[in-house]
Structure 1
Amino acid sequence: MDLQSRLDSPSQPAANAAAGTGKRPFNLLRWYAFVSLAIILSVAVGLGLISSRFVISQSVERDALLTAQFIQAIASAEVRHVSIPNVRTMGELLDPRMDQSFPDVDPQARRSARGEFLDHIANLPDTLLANIYAPDRMVIWSSNPALVGKMIEADEDLERAFEDKVGVSASYHNVDQARSEQKFITPPEQLFIENYIPLFDADGENVTAMVEIYKEPRDLILRIERGLVLIWLAVALGAALIYGGLYWLMYRANRQMAVQQKRLINNETFVALGEMSSAVAHSLRNPLASIRSSAELAQEIEEGPAQKNIGDIISQVDRMSHWVRQLLQSLRPLNDEVEAVEIEPVLKDSLQAFTLQLRRQGIEVQVGTLADVRVLSQPALLGQIFNSLIANALEAMAEGGTLRVEQLMKGRKTVVLRVRDSGKGMTEAQLRMALKPFYTTKQGGLGVGLVLVKRIMERFGGSVRLSSQEGEGTTVQLNFRVARLPAAQ
């Protein structure tokens, strides 16, 4: 098993366990989206229904109260207007069967008072049907003449109005054919309201007549409909805002958790590799040093054909020592303090260090104008980034080419730097693996250079992105976080 397989092995048991059970891994964001949506919709629909019912009931009760006050005011006004002796309420005048009970009252005055009151009732606005009941539940007058003289039985609302001596109101959307008093000359189109309004005797204790009014208040219905539309729009908008806000917070939290989990796994992996590498390095350094010392001693003594083999031993020992140093450097924890670092001086130092190799391979270096900006990093680690990228460019342009470093964008919070070479480039498969630990296409390479670049950039809140095309070169885009703006700006 190679080293990359060993790195992947810690995550394999969990993956194998999930595959073995046939269950998908728990997706927090998806479950939250469904569960929160169901809860918010349930609460929103419940609030909408409660609010709608409240608006309708309050509107109906308010209309019923105004209607009752209007009818009772008309009744009192008509009684005062006719000035019939010994008759103090309109309820005593409405039942024609009671005319004989008042022989001292002018029948014409009685009929006149009753007629004026009934005319007011018949011409109430938005009225579909008006009925007046005697205490024995007989219809003594109706705007539908076919109902006059009928006895109404088993009407719960009518009975409650007589027994409780209070006004009763109810709203309906459909005509109840089983109720004999709901015989409309003009059928209602939508919502209609039924009001029972009691008329009392002079003592205010006994109900002498009950006025029933069926109304279809179009203006009130329009207002109710507009109110319901506003309620449901507000409920929908509120639910959408709450769901969107909570989903956004959970999305950000889920992403942050995923990033932290990834960092934790990477840290644990690198810690384990660091411990292993330290053990390997300590175990190899002394033997390697001993081998190199012995080879150098042999090289001084031996002057024959073995000189070439001794030289190969020394070069291979140096190569192995370089690998050990690279491995330890790439796996050590990045705990350096964040500093504000200028890019240009560090870049120039790195290019200066590779001047001879760049010149020897015929590579032209082009550095664009870099803004006077400081980024969050650490001088030594920023230099390591440029050193790794320049070394990779040298490897890719063995027969010469162009290395260009330029600034793409500078904002208040980020600055983007692009390092581009005209080398041999990478295939899609190589590009996908380029940032994986210990993957390399170099002869004798270790595959930790770009990994170290990625770790350093992410350590200081930045990011790195690769793009490459075989035969046309490779571009590395570095996104740095700005430490502070220059004072001149």
Structure 2
Amino acid sequence: MQMLQNDVQGKATTTARGLAMPMLEFNLLRWFSLISLLIITAVAGGLGYVSTRFVVRDSVERDAMLTAQFIQAIALAEVRHSQLPPGSTMGELLDPRLDQQHLQFSPALAESTRVEFLDHVAHLPDILLANVYARDRTIIWSTNPALIGERIEADGDLDRAFHSRKAVSASYHQANDDREEQKFQREPRSLFIENYIPLFDSQGEQVLAMVEIYKEPQDLARRIQRGYVLIWASTLVGGALIYFGLFWIVRRAAQLLHLQQDRLVANETYVALGEMSSAVAHSLRNPLANIRSSAELAQEIAAPAAQKNIADIISQVDRMSRWVRDFLVSLRPTSDEAEAVDLVAAIEDTRLAFAQQIERNGIRFRYEGPALQWVNSQPLQLTQILNSLFSNALEAMPEGGLLCAQVSVQDGQRAELVLVDTGKGMSQQQERMVFKPFYTTKQGGLGVGLALVKRIMERFGGSVSLSSREQEGTRVSLTFNIAAGGAHGAQHSGRRG
């Protein structure tokens, strides 16, 4: 028997190690948290940057278009107001060096028309600086007199405006000291815009002069700032909502995967346990049969004083044979169809089965609860549960103590059995591991009892929990679904001791 026990214990340990062997797991939640945060941050930052750039560019281009239309409208209006000959344009009048070359009107009329136009330009709202360029890139007029007469050689925006014959605009946040034409009389406070507005000849084909306007539109700057805040706030909130929404979904999926993994490991454990149990049953069956046969033969010739001891041997052998048979049955795949079982009667049957051990250990047993309580289970499975719990409780009290069973009804739908002993209890580490298959603190134990209890309870929609303190005892709580028609069973209280 000792060799058999060692063999079984060795198999259990090997199986437990195989199932508990650490594996390199892919932590879905952790990797999703990191990678999705990086991706969403990058996408949100990119969208925010593109959106703000679009807002600025669109706003600047629109402001440039309106400014160009306004300047060109003023130029046309001043030409008409001065009653210049048909075909005359403001572009012809802006260069004072050409006043003597006009044949259809006098230099004085050209100057007066030019002065009126430039006065309107100088008093544009939000203006920082205004320059007028001749075709040779010479500044022929400016709101900053120090710039008049300067020739700008290397200015890509100016050259592009002359060649494209379209209004060109650009936005800046800081004046460039290297550019001669950006000599402002006051420093801009924030965003400022540079506009190049071409003025054409009468055929509209050749650029005769270029008006450069630097302006600091305060209202536009405020609207752009509000756009910045709105875009980045929306991007931040949207990105956070997407991240946390996906995080919740992945977290839920990770929990379900973990649960499925635990169930898979448990199923593998119970398959291995079933195989071991079959080996144990076959190994024990013949020795038990031989022990019983020998005891029966001894009983026929034994003295009366030994008859009681031999009868105890036969009774315990029969009990162990039933336990092995029931243990094997409990591990077989069975249907989850529950039956109505009297929990109180099952507790009493278990007490009677352990009566000799209870008496031998000097343990007092007490029952508190109704005389009848029907629950959803199966008789054989419920017996297996109670046998395992009673056996653990009695082994925890070798020098006597109190074992109390309490049955109560919870909210009319569930019944609770609480089994409390005053034994040696468990440490916190043991309490956390107690429902793990093949974990045991007993010398020679297999560590399958409470794992089976948990599996059987969950099979019928119940649950089990355990709390314990060292040197104070253990409390096990079983929660059952009340069987149909059993909720209104006898509710009067009874005590058995």
TM over 0.5, shorter chain: yes
Residues 129 and 185 in structure 1, CA contact (< 8 A), matched pair in contact too: yes
1:214 aligned onto 2:222: no
Q: Which residue of 2 aligns with 1:424?
A: 423
Q: Which residue of 2 aligns with 1:21?
A: none
Flag the 1:183–1:251 CA change in 2: closer, same or farther, 3 A. Answer: same
Q: Which residue of 1 aligns with 2:230?
A: 230
Q: CA deviation at 1:203?
A: 0.9
Q: Which residue of 2 aligns with 1:32?
A: 32
Q: CA deviation at 1:331?
A: 3.2
1:282 aligned onto 2:282: yes
Aligned length in residues: 469
Flag the 1:179–1:439 CA change in 2: closer, same or farther, 3 A. Answer: closer
In structure 2, what residue type is equivalent to 1:367? G
Residues 198 and 209 in structure 1, CA contact (< 8 A), matched pair in contact too: yes
Distance 2:13 2:230 in 1: 62
1:56-81: per-residue Cα shift (whole Å, max 9, x none)? Answer: 11111111111111111111122222
Flag the 1:387–1:217 CA change in 2: closer, same or farther, 3 A. Answer: farther
1:143 aligned onto 2:151: no
Pairing of 1:122-271 with structure 2 (within 5 A): 122-271=122-271
In structure 2, what residue type is equivalent to 1:226? R
Distance 1:460 1:256 in 2: 21
Flag the 1:384–1:219 CA change in 2: closer, same or farther, 3 A. Answer: farther
When the two chains are superposed, the root-mean-square deviation of aligned CA atoms in Å is 3.8
1:150-195: per-residue Cα shift (whole Å, max 9, x none)? Answer: 1111101000000110111111122111111011111112221111
Q: Which residue of 2 aligns with 1:5?
A: 13
Distance 2:118 2:415 in 1: 88
Q: CA deviation at 1:29?
A: 2.8
Distance 1:373 1:50 in 2: 69
Residues 461 and 481 in structure 1, CA contact (< 8 A), matched pair in contact too: yes
In structure 1, what residue type is equivalent to 2:202? A
Q: CA deviation at 1:32?
A: 2.6
- TM-score (norm: length of structure 1): 0.82
Flag the 1:444–1:142 CA change in 2: closer, same or farther, 3 A. Answer: closer
Pairing of 1:30-429 with structure 2 (within 5 A): 30-86=30-86, 88-303=88-303, 307=307, 310-311=310-311, 313-325=313-325, 327-333=327-333, 335-337=334-336, 346-353=342-349, 362-367=364-369, 381=381, 385=385, 388-389=388-389, 399-400=401-402, 402-406=404-408, 417=416, 419-421=418-420, 423-424=422-423, 426-428=425-427, 429=429
Flag the 1:418–1:135 CA change in 2: closer, same or farther, 3 A. Answer: farther
Flag the 1:474–1:408 CA change in 2: closer, same or farther, 3 A. Answer: farther
1:102-150: per-residue Cα shift (whole Å, max 9, x none)? Answer: 2542444333322221121111111111111111111111111111111
In structure 1, what residue type is equivalent to 2:47? L
Distance 1:147 1:482 in 2: 98
Flag the 1:88–1:103 CA change in 2: closer, same or farther, 3 A. Answer: closer
Distance 1:322 1:383 in 2: 11
1:241-262: per-residue Cα shift (whole Å, max 9, x none)? Answer: 2222222222222222222222
Residues 420 and 473 in structure 1, CA contact (< 8 A), matched pair in contact too: no
Flag the 1:114–1:408 CA change in 2: closer, same or farther, 3 A. Answer: farther
Residues 129 and 214 in structure 1, CA contact (< 8 A), matched pair in contact too: yes
In structure 2, what residue type is equivalent to 1:238? G
Q: CA deviation at 1:444?
A: 9.5
SS state at 1:466 partner: strand
Moved more, 301-310 or 243-252: 301-310
Q: CA deviation at 1:401?
A: 5.6
Q: CA deviation at 1:283?
A: 4.0
1:467 aligned onto 2:453: no
1:187-213: per-residue Cα shift (whole Å, max 9, x none)? Answer: 112221111111111111111111111
Distance 1:373 1:168 in 2: 90
Distance 2:303 2:482 in 1: 59
In structure 1, what residue type is equivalent to 2:346? S
Distance 1:46 1:390 in 2: 66
SS state at 2:468 partner: strand
- TM-score (norm: length of structure 2): 0.81
Residues 426 and 474 in structure 2, CA contact (< 8 A), matched pair in contact too: no
Residues 346 and 382 in structure 1, CA contact (< 8 A), matched pair in contact too: no
Flag the 1:380–1:51 CA change in 2: closer, same or farther, 3 A. Answer: farther
Residues 375 and 480 in structure 2, CA contact (< 8 A), matched pair in contact too: no
In structure 1, what residue type is equivalent to 2:420? D
Distance 2:483 2:60 in 1: 66
Q: CA deviation at 1:287?
A: 4.1
Flag the 1:73–1:476 CA change in 2: closer, same or farther, 3 A. Answer: farther
5+ residue gaps in structure 1? 19-23
Q: Which residue of 1 aligns with 2:489?
A: none
Q: CA deviation at 1:307?
A: 4.3
Residues 19 and 265 in structure 2, CA contact (< 8 A), matched pair in contact too: no
Distance 2:222 2:39 in 1: 32
SS state at 2:150 partner: coil
Distance 1:216 1:478 in 2: 78
1:216-243: per-residue Cα shift (whole Å, max 9, x none)? Answer: 1121112112212221222222222222
User: Share of identical aligned residues, percent?
Assistant: 57
Residues 162 and 210 in structure 1, CA contact (< 8 A), matched pair in contact too: yes
Q: CA deviation at 1:101?
A: 1.8
Distance 1:77 1:415 in 2: 93
Distance 2:207 2:111 in 1: 21
Distance 1:202 1:373 in 2: 107
Flag the 1:444–1:151 CA change in 2: closer, same or farther, 3 A. Answer: closer
5+ residue gaps in structure 2? 1-5, 487-497
Flag the 1:25–1:229 CA change in 2: closer, same or farther, 3 A. Answer: same
Residues 347 and 383 in structure 1, CA contact (< 8 A), matched pair in contact too: no
Distance 2:188 2:246 in 1: 46
Distance 1:383 1:312 in 2: 22
SS state at 2:129 partner: strand
SS state at 2:84 partner: coil
Flag the 1:381–1:242 CA change in 2: closer, same or farther, 3 A. Answer: farther
Higher relative contact order (CA 8 A, sep 6+): 2
SS state at 1:176 partner: coil
Q: CA deviation at 1:282?
A: 3.0
SS state at 2:464 partner: strand
Residues 467 and 476 in structure 2, CA contact (< 8 A), matched pair in contact too: yes
